[in-house]
Structure 1
Amino acid sequence: MCRATTDPGGPRRCSGDTRAAYRQSSHAVAVLEETESILKAVLAAEAAPAPLSSADGTSPGMPSAAAPPAPVKPKTVSFADKTTRVEDIRREIDDAIANLNTAEQWQDWLHFAGQFHHYSLQNQLLIRMQRPDATFVGGLKKVWNKKFNRSLVAGSKAIWVRAPKIVKKKHGDGTEEEVLTGWLDVPVYDVSDTTGPPLPKPPVVPYTRETGVAPPEMHTELEKQITAAGYTVERVELPENGPEAYTQDKPTKKVVVSTRYSDAHQAMALAHEWAHIHMGHMERHHEYHNGPGGQRPTMEVEAESVAYVIGRHFGLTPGGSAFSYIDGWANGDPKKVQQTADRVNKACKAIISKFPQATPAVAS
């Protein structure tokens, strides 16, 4: 979300510049942290008694200071005990949300959000913690038996999700109202737990800023939603060190995408700018700064996260460094993480639900 040179207060740096700057800063911090860990290890080794040597003269008790720690993967849980299932689910969801403030966990969740965008945040987390390798889940009778003519593999374990319990309340004037009265624990199963006719494979479109072509419908469908919101889309070759894309609000209301980069990268930039518009960031442009009370980091996390999920929906596979700047972004505040994740999830669901719906594709 940027301001051009013609806008009041412009120009403003844009999403592409922000992501590049964050990646550079994150890399520099990682180098410093690794150097610090090495120095600490060396100092500790010098201060400690010399370890006993093995037969070949090496020191078996000394860890390699330069070896980075193994990435922490989300634990796999089970809710087999129905007597404690409600409490167990609530506790595990709270823990999962608290752990979303790292780049690895956030991007892993977004991967699930892309595959299960029609599910709520809590159900995405529940699927992720029970079956990290899940690709497409559904209820046994309505989805697998009836819709896809597939059968359950013997011995398969259910994935427990939560479904709203809705009752119809009749009024004196004869009208009815649907009222949420609680939640039900519902079993679903992954496609790998079933046998039968195969489901189609999703497209895979590797890309970089310089290479890669997005499916044409990605551009088309995003532009439809952008123009429906009252904006126009322009594609021009912006300066080499300029933004990848930017959005002007009043009076022109247009999204400008640089043609300097690959077709796929242009589609991702378009998704990023549409996310800013859709999530109401343009109406809050006065909050788009890094000073006290500024919401620029949160807005960028939201827009880039939505763009990532949209890209995955169309088969685009961005590199692993796309969210390197998220580490520490929420400062350990689980409430902030949950609010942002909820907003991202709702935006993804609203945007993707307007795309033409085909038969669900299942990752191999």
Structure 2
Amino acid sequence: MATRQEEARQAREAKLDELHDKLTGAVERLVTGDDWADALRCAARFRSRSFNNVLLTWEQHLAAFEQGRVPEPFPTYVAGYKQWQQLGRQVGKGQAGYQILAPVTGRFASANPSDPASWRRLNRGEKPKPGETVRSKMVGVRPAYVWDVSQTTGDPLPKKPEPRLLTGEAPEGLREGLARRIGSEGFELLWVPHEGMIGGAIGLTNFETRQVAVRENMPDAAQVKTEGHELAHVLMHGPDQEEARQHRGIGEVEAESVALMIGAAHGMDTSEYTIPYVAGWATAVDGKNPVEVVQAAGERIRKTAIDILDQLDTIQVSDGTPPGLDRDTQRQPPERGVARAAPAVEPEEARPERAGRGL
């Protein structure tokens, strides 16, 4: 007869299998459909979460919209059950949460941190020996739940500043911020009068001369978007990045995707710009499954965009964390997936490890 702990483990494994199927389905639709730009806009909105969890949240929210359970097709702010309670809001009765993958962490100790083989995992409650260094690291994932603000009621959220742009206008400070980052990478930024000076291109990155050129005969927003595109090339497609250089389509999609995320994080409308059909470049990588290629590229794009955005002194749209909620408070145990009449304490699943914020 299975023990309660074994039953809990089996239930978690079943949920993880379900999440894996949902994630695979979401990525397959990206490969074969035209939702890549929408996925990236969602990733820009929820850039503190992994590309996998962005896709999981987006897909489940879209399903809820199609079922009439939420008013908009895109989520706006998401948080856990207790987090919404901290903000004076309550998840509506019967509202199903969106399953995501939360990291499971373990504590490790070593008396010789420079030796990878010396690290040992500490048991629950175990203290390190004198002189040992302690570090936490991710050892697995487990299912957790979040809800969109539209699934909650209660106190209004604090207002956060949001960028406001006119047509063709670039966000304040973005041009200068991107230019500083290009310079810090050891590249010279050149603003050229017209495309004839760079072979008919909109922008050009030259790793031999270490120069980035952007043409000026286009709207301000287009110039800055191109500046972000070329910066992505600088960060992602140097001489040591053989795969992207061998498959030019991958490099161009990655760079344009980073530029789209940077723009979306500043409220820019990039709908007039197109991204090559994802299936075309995903299937061009020999020996790799297109689903795996797109999944890996999405996370790589997200991390590059965050690296750029975090160093900019500009007003950006929210990263999906509800205003008024400290990011540190997002580190919480998994929560059940359907809200009932509000209990004093929301039940938690049995957990052998502490689960952190969603990946």
Normalised to the residue count of structure 2, the TM-score between the two structures is: 0.67
- C-alpha contact 1:93 1:126 (8 A) present in aligned 2: yes
Secondary structure of the residue aligned to 1:224 is helix
| Structure 1 position 83, deviation (Å) | 7.6
> In structure 2, which of residues 282, 287, 292 is the aligned counterpart of residue 335 of structure 1?
292
Secondary structure of the residue aligned to 2:20 is helix
- C-alpha contact 1:110 1:308 (8 A) present in aligned 2: yes
Which one-letter code corresponds to 2:256 in the other structure? E
**1:322 aligned residue:** 274
**1:114 aligned residue:** 44
* In structure 1, C-alpha distance between the alignment counterparts of 2:59 and 2:143, rounded to whole Å: 15
- Which ranges of structure 1 fall in alignment gaps of 5 or more residues? 1-80
**1:283 aligned residue:** 239
**1:161 aligned residue:** 100
The aligned length equals 270
Write out aligned runs for 1:145-160 (5 A): 145-146=85-86, 148-160=87-99
* In structure 1, C-alpha distance between the alignment counterparts of 2:58 and 2:264, rounded to whole Å: 17
Write out aligned runs for 1:235-314 (5 A): 235-239=191-195, 242-251=200-209, 253-279=210-236, 281-284=237-240, 294-314=246-266
**2:29 aligned residue:** 99
- C-alpha contact 1:206 1:318 (8 A) present in aligned 2: no
Write out aligned runs for 1:190-205 (5 A): 190-194=148-152, 195-198=154-157, 199-200=159-160, 202-203=162-163, 205=165
**2:76 aligned residue:** 135
- C-alpha contact 2:232 2:258 (8 A) present in aligned 1: yes
Q: Deviations over 1:238-261 (max 9, x none)?
A: 24672222123334x222211100
Bigger Rg, which one: 1
- C-alpha contact 1:214 1:263 (8 A) present in aligned 2: yes
Question: Is residue 228 of structure 1 aligned with residue 184 of structure 2?
Answer: yes
* In structure 1, C-alpha distance between the alignment counterparts of 2:133 and 2:29, rounded to whole Å: 45
**1:29 aligned residue:** none
* In structure 1, C-alpha distance between the alignment counterparts of 2:273 and 2:200, rounded to whole Å: 21
| Structure 1 position 201, deviation (Å) | 7.2
Secondary structure of the residue aligned to 2:275 is helix
**1:19 aligned residue:** none
Residues 97 and 345 from structure 1, CA distance in 2 versus in 1: closer, same or farther, beyond 3 angstroms? same
* In structure 2, C-alpha distance between the alignment counterparts of 1:344 and 1:86, rounded to whole Å: 25
Deviates more, 1:181-190 or 1:324-333: 324-333
- C-alpha contact 1:204 1:317 (8 A) present in aligned 2: no
Q: Deviations over 1:4-41 (max 9, x none)?
A: xxxxxxxxxxxxxxxxxxxxxxxxxxxxxxxxxxxxxx
Secondary structure of the residue aligned to 1:233 is strand
* In structure 1, C-alpha distance between the alignment counterparts of 2:166 and 2:261, rounded to whole Å: 15
**2:174 aligned residue:** 218
Secondary structure of the residue aligned to 1:283 is coil
Deviates more, 1:300-309 or 1:177-186: 177-186
| Structure 1 position 298, deviation (Å) | 0.7
**2:353 aligned residue:** none
Which one-letter code corresponds to 2:218 in the other structure? Y
Residues 197 and 97 from structure 1, CA distance in 2 versus in 1: closer, same or farther, beyond 3 angstroms? same
- C-alpha contact 2:253 2:276 (8 A) present in aligned 1: no
Which one-letter code corresponds to 1:234 in the other structure? L
| Structure 1 position 101, deviation (Å) | 1.6
Normalised to the residue count of structure 1, the TM-score between the two structures is: 0.66
| Structure 1 position 358, deviation (Å) | 6.2
Which one-letter code corresponds to 2:251 in the other structure? M
> In structure 1, which of residues 81, 90, 95 is the aligned counterpart of residue 20 of structure 2?
90
- C-alpha contact 1:101 1:329 (8 A) present in aligned 2: no
Residues 97 and 358 from structure 1, CA distance in 2 versus in 1: closer, same or farther, beyond 3 angstroms? closer
**2:342 aligned residue:** none
- C-alpha contact 1:160 1:185 (8 A) present in aligned 2: yes
**2:333 aligned residue:** none
Residues 358 and 319 from structure 1, CA distance in 2 versus in 1: closer, same or farther, beyond 3 angstroms? closer
Residues 122 and 237 from structure 1, CA distance in 2 versus in 1: closer, same or farther, beyond 3 angstroms? same
Asked which structure has the greater RCO (Cα within 8 Å, sep 6+), the reply is 2
**1:9 aligned residue:** none
